[in-house]
Amino acid sequence: MENSLRVNLGERSYDLFFGAGILGRLRAELDAARVVGRRVAVVTDTQIALRQAGALEALGGDYPRLVLPAGEGTKCLAQLGRVWDFLAEHRLDRGSLLVAVGGGVIGDLAGFAAASYLRGIPFIQVPTTLLAMVDSSVGGKTGINLGAGKNLVGAFHQPAAVHVDTALLATLPPREFAAGMAEVIKYGLLGDAALLARLEREPLTFASGDLAAVVRRCCAIKAGIVEADERETAAEGGRALLNLGHTFGHAIEQVTGYGVYLHGEAVAVGLCAAARLSEKLGLVGASMVSRVDAVVAAHGLPVRLREPLPLDSLAAAMGRDKKVRAGGLRFVVLRAPGEAATLGGVDPALAAAAFREVGAA
């Protein structure tokens, strides 16, 4: 069964389509586009090419396809250049369609290539991981990492459509599914106390009967936030709320070289650190910290760093975070279950103390 959700952004509005086995619908749209002279190309990665070969063939086996290495390291300038060269080689123009089939890495990289090639061509997101389905495929944030930090280069470029085929999760490794749950937990913490309570009652798995409904609910929360603050310009709150746990998490990823922790694993530790910071600021009690730890652990995610990381390196990484304003860090903090806020002027010593409590040294 398929259903849809509209992201209302004026002329940049688009639909999200949800269901199991819905890629045939997209194939029909791509074939119709080709009939009227539009070129179509696909970017994916080696893991999708291996695990979802049938889906890729069904989507368009005869369309030009670029297969990139899997992993966070692919979100770099060198691989971006490969995508640009691929688009030029196959003579895509501004009326062409680029289809990003993969997790957050492929979606971010291909989306940035689409945003910058010929100063912008349309692209379609086909997320294949839970994390991409509930978070990164929605909202138009595209980009790559630099050695200095995560997502420091990018552009806002909304997709033409997002096709969320939950059947693709059948081949997702358990570790990757758990990583996606960090973002689901984040949505419960920042915007839906009922969703948080549901996750606390019973861990969400691929076999859960309400998986599709939870995915759609996360997308609806994000769509509402994006509609209100598309380019993250709100002085307080707004789209920045989506970074709950991410200031800590991005620092972990950078210090460990983008290979030790999956993004969702780093965010999970970041959520636990953010809860502790919120407690130190007097915004929530110790019970909220315990709840965050418990729901994170119940979904197979780390509550603490696996090995100690140097606090000075983590602090330096946070200082290069793209959410820094006027030289000062802004954190997303918890005020209550299902309610978060942005906060500047946080004492760095409190953030450091929160990081120590999740394993920094």
Q: Among all residues, which ones are annotated catalytic?
A: 119, 141, 183, 222, 232, 239, 243, 246, 250, 263
Ranges assigned E (strand) in 157-206: 161-165
Which residues lie closer than 8 Å to 187 by C-beta, 6 or more apart? 134, 195, 217, 218, 221, 222
Across the strands, what pairs with 163? 17
CA distance 276 to 274: 5
CB-CB contact of 38 with 90 (8 Å): no
| Distance separating alpha carbons of residues 164 and 19, to the nearest angstrom | 7
Q: Is 143 helix (H, G, I), strand (E, B) or coil?
A: strand
- Conformational region of residue 37, where left means phi above 0, alpha means psi within -120 to 50, and beta covers everything else: left
Residue 287, burial from CB neighbour count under 10 angstroms (0-12, 13-18, 19+) = exposed
Sequence length of the chain is 361
